[in-house]
Each structure stands twice: as C-alpha cells, then as structure tokens.
Chain A
Amino acid sequence: GQNIDQPTEMTATEGAIVQINCTYQTSGFNGLFWYQQHAGEAPTFLSYNVLDGLEEKGRFSSFLSRSKGYSYLLLKELQMKDSASYLCAVSPLDSSYKLIFGSGTRLLVRP
C-alpha cells in the first residue's frame, strides 16, 4: 500500500523561502505530483517528478529522491497569495490512473 505524510501546517514570512516536505512509504510509483489548493477552490497543478532530482519552474521547485523516499516543494520569494494548501500525490504502479494524495500542508504567509 501507500502512505503519504506531510506536515499539517507551516508559517513563513513574505519574501522568504519555505520547503514543504512529503515522505511516502510505497512499493513503487510512476511519478510524484504537487498541487496547490486555495481554500474552497480546486487544486491546481504545480509540478510532476518522475526522475530523481530538482525540477525548477519559476519561484517553485520540486525535488524527488526515490532512494530516500521523499520529495519537497520549495517556494522562493514568498508572496501573500502563496497562502494555500499544498498537496503531494503519487501515481501508483499497480493502477496508473489513480492518484494517492497526502492530507496536504496548509501554508500561511505573513507580512
């Protein structure tokens, strides 16, 4: 089976850098996704990692280490609008249509 763990809440300051971790226990997966979800809204796609390493996309970067069983999302130059929940999800090998989601990390950006 799969188990995905993320911190429940994090707080950071506007302009700073924050790293949101995602650890997983799974027998194998195709890739790992990160989504952003503002309160009461739909999740929006941020990044997808298949290979180990860092994927950079503007202010957001995502890192994957399969051997260590973790991923992180790095947000730079934080803005107030980055206050949202960040969801980590894996695409399991035994059912490639499915996504298994973590509970999400609620990030609060303060002035």
Chain B
Amino acid sequence: DGGITQSPKYLFRKEGQNVTLSCEQNLNHDAMYWYRQDPGQGLRLIYYSQIVNDFQKGDIAEGYSVSREKKESFPLTVTSAQKNPTAFYLCASSYGSQETQYFGPGTRLLVL
C-alpha cells in the first residue's frame, strides 16, 4: 500500500534537547512538506522540499532544520532554539506544485 508514514506517534522532548521526527513516503512524490498545527489554528508551513537535495523555508522555519537526502524521506529536527515546540506535526507530499498534498498521520510533540 502506498502512503506516508510518520514516527513516532508521540514524542517527548526535554529542555535543551534536539529531537528528530521521521517522515517517509512511497508514493513517488517529488515534493514534501512539514506543517505545524496548534489547537484552534490552521496548519502553518515549516519547510518544504521540491526535489531531492533541495529545501526551502516556510513561514515558521526558525528553530527547525530539515534534510532531503532521499526522495522518500524528509526528516524534521526540532532544535533547542525552538522555544515553544509543543504541537501536532504533520508531514505531507505531492507530485509537484499546485498538486494535491497528502498527509501522514502526524507526530504529537510534548515538552517535559
């Protein structure tokens, strides 16, 4: 079955710690995205990648980093510089621009 997977489902971060959220897709999509969702708010774009080895900052990139070494994978690192990381993180992918984005099941990040 084709789809997008994210792991873990829940993640706990300690003060000053970097954590990495995994996102994998086997849909053969070129573009991948990371969004953050806070209660009662819409999705906000953190980073996106149009093709392998390329990525662009979204609207709220500060405190986050990404890599795109493989077409299938787009991991997101939440660094200690992100002071308010508690949120629901959603990864998505699409064939290209203006195409429908399909979402993974999400990772809920909590701060200890």
Taking beta carbons and an 8 Å cutoff, which residues of A are in contact with B?
A: 4, 8, 30-31, 33, 40-45, 48, 87, 89, 91, 96-99, 101-104
Is there an interface contact between B100 and A43, defined as CB atoms closer than 8 Å? Answer: no
> Could you tell me the distance between the alpha carbons of A33 and B100 in the complex, rounded to whole angstroms?
8
**Contact pick for A101, options B42, B56, B94, B105, CB 8 Å:** B42
> Could you tell me the distance between the alpha carbons of A102 and B58 in the complex, rounded to whole angstroms?
16
> Could you tell me the distance between the alpha carbons of A48 and B90 in the complex, rounded to whole angstroms?
20
Say whether B45 faces chain A, with CB atoms less than 8 Å apart. yes
Count, A-B residue pairs, CB within 8 A = 53
> Could you tell me the distance between the alpha carbons of A4 and B56 in the complex, rounded to whole angstroms?
23
> Could you tell me the distance between the alpha carbons of A110 and B92 in the complex, rounded to whole angstroms?
32
> Could you tell me the distance between the alpha carbons of A24 and B79 in the complex, rounded to whole angstroms?
34
**Interfacial chain B residues near A91, Cβ < 8 Å:** 97-98
Is there an interface contact between A99 and B45, defined as CB atoms closer than 8 Å? Answer: yes
A-B contact pairs, 7 of them (CB 8 A): A4-B42, A42-B103, A44-B103, A89-B42, A101-B43, A102-B42, A103-B41
**Interfacial chain A residues near B90, Cβ < 8 Å:** 42-43
Is there an interface contact between A98 and B45, defined as CB atoms closer than 8 Å? Answer: yes
**Interfacial chain B residues near A44, Cβ < 8 Å:** 103
**Interfacial chain B residues near A31, Cβ < 8 Å:** 98
Contacts A97-B48, A98-B48: A103 and B40 contacting too (C-beta < 8 A)? yes
- Least CB distance, B61 to chain A, in whole angstroms: 13
Is there an interface contact between A45 and B102, defined as CB atoms closer than 8 Å? Answer: yes
**Interfacial chain B residues near A101, Cβ < 8 Å:** 42-44
17 other A-B residue contacts (CB within 8 Å) besides A8-B40, A42-B105: A40-B106, A42-B90, A42-B104, A42-B106, A45-B101, A87-B42, A87-B43, A97-B31, A97-B33, A97-B48, A97-B56, A97-B97, A101-B43, A102-B42, A103-B40, A103-B41, A104-B42
